[in-house]
Homo-oligomer: A and B are copies of this chain.
Amino acid sequence: MKIHEYQAKDILAKYGIPVQPGKVAHTPEEAEAIARELGEPVVIKAQVYVGGRGKAGGIQFGDTPEQAREAATRVLGMDIKGLTVEKVLVTSKIDIKDEYYLGIVLDRKSQAPVVMVSTAGGIDIEEVAEKTPEKIIQQPIDMRWGLRPFEALDIVTRAGFPSNILRQSAAILAALAKAFIESDANLAEINPLAYTTDGKVLAADGKIVIDDNGLFRQKEYATWAEPEEANPLEYEAKQAGLTYVKLDGDVGIIGNGAGLVMTTLDMVARAGGKPANFLDIGGGAKAEVMYKSLTFVARDPQVKGILVNIFGGITRGEEVAKGVIMAQAELPKGMPIVVRLSGTGAEEGRALLKDAGLDWGKDMRDASEKIVAAIARTEKGL
C-alpha cells in the first residue's frame, strides 16, 4: 500500500528521524494558516501517489503566508500523471548543501530487506543503479538482529559520506531500518537525505510502501488507505475484499487463481480483445462472491462484455453458475457474458447456464474467442 510523503514522514519522525516541521493542507487557506504557524518560508509539495511531481510543477515555494496560499492554489487541483492533487504538504523550506540517498527495499533474491545507500541523492535511485552502480552500497539486513548501529555506520562510511555527518546519517539509517521492519514495509526511502547549509542532517523527502499482507497488524497505517484518483474502482474493490486490477480495455475478466486470470488476460489479448480488468475470486468462492464480482466488473463503464473462467477445485461449478445467473439480471441489457467452467461441478453448472440461456466456452481459448466475437457483434449492433 502506498502512503503519502507526509504520512511517511510521520512514521520517520516516530522513529526519531529529523524531518522539517509541516502539516498537510486541503485548501489554499489551510496552506496559508500552516505557513503562518510555521513562521518561515515554506515549500508546498503535492501529495500524490506518483513520482516526478517536481518536474510536473507539484513543488512550489512561498516566502510569506500569502505566497504559500498562492503556491497552494497553483498546486491543488493540478493533474500529475493522471492524478489530481487533492492535498499538499506545507513544510519549512530548507537550504540544502548536499543530498544523499538512504533506502531499504525488500529483495527477493537475498530474501531480506536490503539497505541501499548512496552519495548520489536527490535523483532517481534506479537511474543511479543503472548508470553508476558503483555509487550505491548495498547490504542485506540480518533479520535476527535488524540493522545494528555499527553496521549502519559501516555502510554510510563505505558509501563515502563525509566524516562529519557519519554519526547522524548512521543513526538515521538504523532508525529507518527499524521503521521498515516494524511497519511491515516493502520499501522505505529517504531521498534526499539533506545536509543543510546550517549543518543539519534531515529527511527532506520520505517514501514508504507498506506490505498489504502486514496491514492486519498495522492498524493505524491501514486507515491511511484512500482511493487513488485514477483508480477509484481499485480502491472500492479492496474495500469490498476483491482482488481487482483496472486495465484499459473493454473485456471484463473474472477467474479463480491469479495465474489463471493472468493467462486468461493473455488469451483474450491473443483473441484480439483488450482486457478491462483482472479479477481473481480466489479459491472456494460461493455464488454471492461470483455475483458481487460480476456486478462490480460491470460498473466499469468501459466494459462491454464479461468472460468468466473457472477451473473448479474447491470452487464448485454450480455456485459459479448461480452467481452468474443472479448477476445477469442486474447487468446492462444485452451485455454479453461467456462462462467457461471445468472441474468440480462443471456439468451441473453448465446445465444451469444452459437453462438461463447463457453462453459458455469449452475451454479458455474458446471462451476468449467467443467473448471477443460477442462484443464485436454488439458493437456493430448485431
**Which residues of A are interface residues toward B (Cβ below 8 A)?**
144-145
Contacts and interface: CB of A to CB of B under 8 A. Distances in A.
Contacts of A144: 144-145
Contacts of A145: 144
Nearest to A146: B144
> Assembly of this chain: how many copies?
2
A76 to B, nearest CB: 42
Nearest to A145: B144
2 contacts: A144-B144, A144-B145
A-B residue pairs, 2 tightest by C-beta: A144-B144, A144-B145
A145 B142 CA distance: 11
Nearest to A144: B144
Nearest to A142: B144
A144 B145 CA distance: 5
A266 B264 CA distance: 87
A145 B144 CA distance: 5
A182 to B, nearest CB: 12
A144 B148 CA distance: 11
A145 B145 CA distance: 7
A64 B144 CA distance: 51
A112 to B, nearest CB: 14
A144 B144 CA distance: 5
A38 to B, nearest CB: 29
A147 to B, nearest CB: 13
A149 to B, nearest CB: 14
A145 B146 CA distance: 10
A319 to B, nearest CB: 34
A71 B145 CA distance: 50
A175 to B, nearest CB: 15
